[in-house]
Amino acid sequence: MIKITILTLFPEMFVPLNESILKRAQEAGLVEINLVNFRDYAVSKHKNVDDVPYGGGAGMLLKPEPIFAAIRDLPQVSHDRKLILMSPQGHVFHQKKAEEWSAHQELVFMCGHYEGFDERIRELADEEVSLGDYVLTGGELAAMVMIDAVVRLIPGVLGEEVSAEEDSHSIGLLEYPQYTRPADFEGRKVPEILLSGHHAQIMRWRRKESLRRTFLRRPDLIKNLEFSLEDYSLLEELTLEHEEFARWRTKWQHLSPPPKRQRRSSNRNK
């Protein structure tokens, strides 16, 4: 069970968390999601949460007092609590981060709004995280996306029949193409190999298609990949099929079968 708390000025925005799989996960007690409107912690008569920047400039900034007060008022249920600040200046969120967070007992998402926040608010955060390299009107949508990515990784949330292990990104590669019935849709046929029932060949085909997709669509992911011995022949095949692969050859060349073994097999053939 993970406890998630969201500090926001717009709790009504979080409707999507009460639908579908996230709704079921809450009902099953696998995750608890609490919303805290930190305007309730504003000290001024008019419940102001933002103010003009010192030194001048456009826009308003979130004041430190309401967020500090809201955090101090949270019941700390675990020593394993992570405070996460939503910000376009943070590290960009990715699948590894979702995996890491899904192992925590308590996550607190702090969502700013308006132009930005007082620098002292950063002191509260264990991590400052961005959804991507673009600026949103606030951290709420970013928090919802991250929460969705985390909650589906909690054991039991996706059900036993579905596994998150073969997802795109979980092994650093994009997922291979998938097909369901019919085997022939208006002349578009499912690849023969998938109908063959030959498990080892299907696994090989899937690995090859994952490599193909990743190299062609997301070359930025290649630098983080580690190839297995079995990948060598797949990558060599793909190099014959696509020019793009050749320039990455140094990444898998060390996996080439040792020449000694080749010599021995050619002797045997004599």
Q: Which residues bind ligand ADE (CB under 6 A)?
A: 86-88, 130-132, 134-136, 138-139, 142
Q: Write down the catalytic residue from 122, 152, 204, 207.
A: 152
Q: Write down the catalytic residue from 50, 65, 66, 88.
A: 88
Is 64 catalytic? The answer is: no
Residue 134 assigned ligand-binding role: yes
Closest CB 99 distance from ligand ADE, rounded Å? 19
Concatenated DSSP letters of 165-215? TTSTTTTSSPPPP---S-SEETTEEPPHHHHS--HHHHHHHHHHHHHHHHH
CB nearer to ligand ADE: give 132 or 257: 132
Closest CB 236 distance from ligand ADE, rounded Å? 40
Side chain identity at residue 220, one-letter code: D
CB nearer to ligand ADE: give 14 or 252: 14
Residue 108 assigned ligand-binding role: no
CB nearer to ligand ADE: give 54 or 134: 134
Is 165 catalytic? The answer is: no
Is 88 catalytic? The answer is: yes
Q: Write down the catalytic residue from 167, 177, 207, 213.
A: 167
Closest CB 85 distance from ligand ADE, rounded Å? 8
Q: Write down the catalytic residue from 115, 127, 166, 175.
A: 115
| Sheet containing 106-110: order of strands | 31-37, 2-8, 106-110, 81-92, 127-130
**Under 8 Å between Cβ of 261 and 232:** no
Residue 57 assigned ligand-binding role: no
Count CB neighbours of 263 within 10 A: 10
CB nearer to ligand ADE: give 5 or 130: 130
Residue 30 assigned ligand-binding role: no
**Under 8 Å between Cβ of 230 and 207:** yes
Residue 56 assigned ligand-binding role: no
Eight-class DSSP state of 80: -
- Local structure of 25: helix, strand or coil: helix
Residue 133 assigned ligand-binding role: yes
Measured CA distances, 173 to 95, 187, 220 (Å): 11, 30, 11
Going 99 to 126 to 16 to 117, the CA torsion angle's sign is: negative
Closest CB 130 distance from ligand ADE, rounded Å? 4
How does 78-97 read in b/e, with b if 16+ C-beta sit within 10 Å? Answer: eeebbbbbbbbebeebebeb
Report angle CA 45, 48, 53 to the nearest 5 degrees.
Answer: 135
Closest CB 92 distance from ligand ADE, rounded Å? 8
CB nearer to ligand ADE: give 136 or 164: 136
Whole-angstrom Cα distance, residue 191 to residue 40?
Answer: 58
The catalytic residues are 88, 115, 152, 167
Binding-site residues from annotation for S-adenosyl-L-methionine: 112, 131-136
Which segments are annotated as binding site?
A: 112, 131-136
